[in-house]
Amino acid sequence: MAKHDYDLFVIGAGSGGVRAARVSAAHGAKVAIAEEHKVGGTCVIRGCVPKKLLVYGAHFAEDLQDARRFGWEVPACNFHWPTLRDNVLEEVARLEAAYTDTLRNHDVEVIKERAVVTGPNEVRLAGGRTVTARHILIATGARPVLPDFPGAQHGITSNEVFHLPELPRRVVIAGAGYIANEFAGIFHQFGSDVTLVNRSDIILRGYDETIRDRLLTISMMKGIQFRFHAAFRKVEKARDRTLTIHMTGCDPIEADMLLFAVGRSPNTEGLGLESAGVQIDDKGAVKVDEDNKSTCGSIYAVGDVTNRVQLTPVAIREGQAFADTVFGDKPTRVDYGSIPSAVFSHPPLAGVGMTEGEARNKLGSVKVYLSDFRAMKNVLAGRNERALYKLVVDGETDEVVGLHMIGPDSPEILQAAAIAVKAKLRKEDFDSVVALHPTMAEELVLMR
């Protein structure tokens, strides 16, 4: 008789947990996965997927306007938020069902309950049942940080933003990172007045400075407002539901919605990890080694709960590596080098490898190639919005160590170009490729 109820018990059915559960089961393990909310996790239910659908929806504002310059007679168009919201939520529900089906088709037992760890090999379910497992995988993700100041409860987070009963006329967004810039673009295109408020004067910390500056310039040109070096003091809510937001260093702002986008913190509270000797760090993240193993030998963790790189494809890689290593007899470690990333702002930006600043700090000599151009479509549309591509090259080896871009379809273009950066190709290799004309991507091989 088996010593444990399961070979693997996964807590959290998000991107990392689902991949780990499915692949472990395919390797022959008896697997259960517990999820207290919805199968799919942040990315599918209240993150990347519904966000990208809103980005598509928002882009029609400009496309419909530009269409007139391309000869189309476009009548006055109105945007109806409930239609887009409900269609997006319907798609999310379809995906949740598809994820659940995939798990069940791989013989993974899906348990729709909260689970907490009660020992190195033991988990207790909210319904009262206790089960045992040879291995436990913590894949509980992260949640939006809620700042603490008087009236902060009047703000919402990215968890709630997909369910708004109506489109807010005036939007204030706290933070200047991924979520802040993506939703600033979305709400601005829907016609809301948008103000971004940040504690520093840096947007999208970590991205290349020239690219960040270009997004700031374009965003301001479009009419998005920014308040920098502003810390929230308090928020008051009037009877008519108007919020008055008080900050240090600038006048109060009135808004109909305050969205907090000031980072995400790992979901480890109340998980019972201490009962198994699983250590967490000062940010609340599960400490793991290169094989995703925690300080308890039978317990592993993948994805945002480990606070390494908070990106879905990384969590998926970690889940796959865990399953292959522990159940597939194929020891695998995730390579964290040259991870491409993108911000789906308006316009979007994307990058891979070292920024110019990082390269100058790390390498002896650096060459930078820039292409600053107006996309053909924008020229005819009369849209004064310039794209910017930057290649960062090691001056000694000619290796392209970084690629950064902002402009239409940048994330789509960068995904392919990231292969070249990951493969450590040289600038000379880029130059040897014949341009594909007329495209925006041809700029990548024409920079001299």
Give least dist CB 216 to ligand NDP, A.
Answer: 12
Contact yes or no for 363/401 (Cβ under 8 A) = yes
What residues are labeled active site? Answer: 437
Task: Map residues 233-272 to x or -, x wherever contact with ligand NDP holds by CB under 6 A.
Answer: ----------------------------xxxx--------
Contact segment (CB under 6 A) with ligand NDP among 92-100, 175-183, 354-362, 427-435 equals 175-183
One residue of 64, 116, 202, 339 binding ligand NDP per CB under 6 A: 202
Please name the amino acid found at residue 73. E
Q: Which of 199, 234, 360, 374 binds ligand NDP (CB under 6 A)?
A: 199
Nearer to ligand NDP, 6 or 344 (CB): 344
Instruction: Please identify, using beta-carbon distances, which residue of 194 and 323 lies nearer to ligand NDP.
Output: 194
Contact call for residue 341 and ligand NDP (CB under 6 A): yes
Residue 210, SS3?
helix
Which among 63-71, 162-170, 335-343, 402-410 is the span making contact with ligand NDP, rule CB under 6 A? 335-343
The DSSP output letter for 435 is P
Residue with tokens 């292409």: 371
Binding residues for ligand NDP, rule CB under 6 A, total 23
Residue 283 Cβ, how far from ligand NDP at the closest point, in Å?
A: 11
Binding residue for ligand NDP (CB under 6 A) from 180, 359, 388, 391? 180
The DSSP-derived string for 70-132 is GT---------HHHHHHHHHHHHHHHHHHHHHHHHHTTPEEE-S-EEEEETTEEEETTS-EEE
Question: Minimal distance in Å, beta carbon 291 to ligand NDP?
Answer: 23
Burial tier of 6 (Cβ tally within 10 Å: 0-12, 13-18, 19+) = buried
Asked if 205 is part of the footprint of ligand NDP (rule: CB under 6 A), the reply reads: yes
Contact status, residue 291 vs residue 333, Cβ threshold 8 Å: yes
Nearer to ligand NDP, 46 or 135 (CB): 46
Q: Please classify residue 132 by burial: count the beta carbons closer than 10 Å to its beta carbon, then call 0-12 exposed, 13-18 middle and 19+ buried.
A: middle
Of 66-74, 79-87, 172-180, 423-431: span binding ligand NDP (CB under 6 A)? 172-180
Q: Which of residues 102, 265, 298, 310 is near ligand NDP by CB under 6 A?
A: 310
| Residue 68 CB coordination number (10 Å) | 12
What per-residue string of b and e applies to 267-302 under the rule 16 or more CB within 10 Å gives b? bbeebbbeebebebeeeebbebeeebbbebebbbbb
Nearer to ligand NDP, 24 or 195 (CB): 195
Under a CB-based contact definition with an 8 Å cutoff, are residues 429 and 420 in contact? yes
At its nearest, how many Å lie between ligand NDP and the CB of residue 178?
Answer: 4
Looking up tokens 């009262």, which residue turns up?
A: 128
Q: Which residues bind ligand NDP (CB under 6 A)?
A: 147, 175-180, 182, 198-200, 202, 205, 261-264, 310-311, 341-344
